[in-house]
Amino acid sequence: MAALTCLRNLSRIVTASRFNSAKAINLPIFNASKNAHGRWIHQSTILNAERKYSKEHEWVSVENGVGTIGISKYAQEKLGDVVYVSLPDVSETITTDEEFGILESVKAANDLFAPVSGEVVEINDDVLDRPSLVNSSPFEEGWLIKVRLSNKKELNNLMSESEYEDFTGGLNQ
């Protein structure tokens, strides 16, 4: 029971804090509560790794040397309803700041620019079939590609979430 209380307290502490470190984190958080019958119910949630952002409004989240890339909420809001997505093939190499795909919306067609370099190891087929996922779920279901990073130091050139919020705030003025 003491361990459960400790986990509950850790969950509150971690959930209440904001992660501002440069290191990506994936922490399991355990929540426990009593149901109507007085029994303990346990739930586990995984916190997302920290996302890094480019000035072109792409984000990358890295786990085990593989970066998941998508577009920011800010970008999808500015684009409007996405109706078509073009992505590179698996095993293609992408290079930082070079075009790797296209998003077409009801407003315009926009190139996608790689925030990092590496080999494409997976594309999100769901986004190809349902481009609207880019709008409805840009960080979860609407990711675009996964890339095995060729140079992890490139992440240092990207913005943290708070830096990106400051950057986009300046664009709205």
For the chain, domains (ranges, CATH) are 2-46 (no CATH), 52-171 (2.40.50.100)
Q: What are phi and psi of 149, to 5 degrees?
A: -65, 135
> What is the reported pLDDT for 95?
98
Q: Return the residue matching tokens 């990106």.
A: 164
> What is the reported pLDDT for 138?
95
How many Å is the maximal CA-CA distance in the chain? 58
> What is the reported pLDDT for 38?
55
- The pair of structure tokens assigned to 88 is 């590179």
Name the pLDDT band for 104 (thresholds 50, 70, 90): very high
DSSP result, 22-83? SS----EEEEEEE-TTS-EEEEEEEPPPPPEE-TTSEEEEEETTEEEEEE-HHHHHHH-SEE
Out of 13-17, 45-49, 79-83, 102-106, pick the least confident. 13-17
Residue range 64-73: mean pLDDT, rounded: 97
Q: Return the residue matching tokens 């990207």.
A: 158
Name the pLDDT band for 4 (thresholds 50, 70, 90): very low
- The pair of structure tokens assigned to 5 is 């209380």
Residue range 28-50: mean pLDDT, rounded: 45
Nearest-angstrom CA–CA distance, 3 and 136: 38
Comparing C-alpha atoms, which of 115, 112, 104, 62 is closest to residue 88?
112
Cα 28 to Cα 42, 43, 102, 106, 131, distances in angstroms: 12, 10, 35, 39, 30
User: What does the pLDDT look like over 115-139, one tens digit per residue?
Assistant: 999 999 999 999 999 999 999 999 9
Out of 23-37, 88-102, 126-140, pick the least confident. 23-37
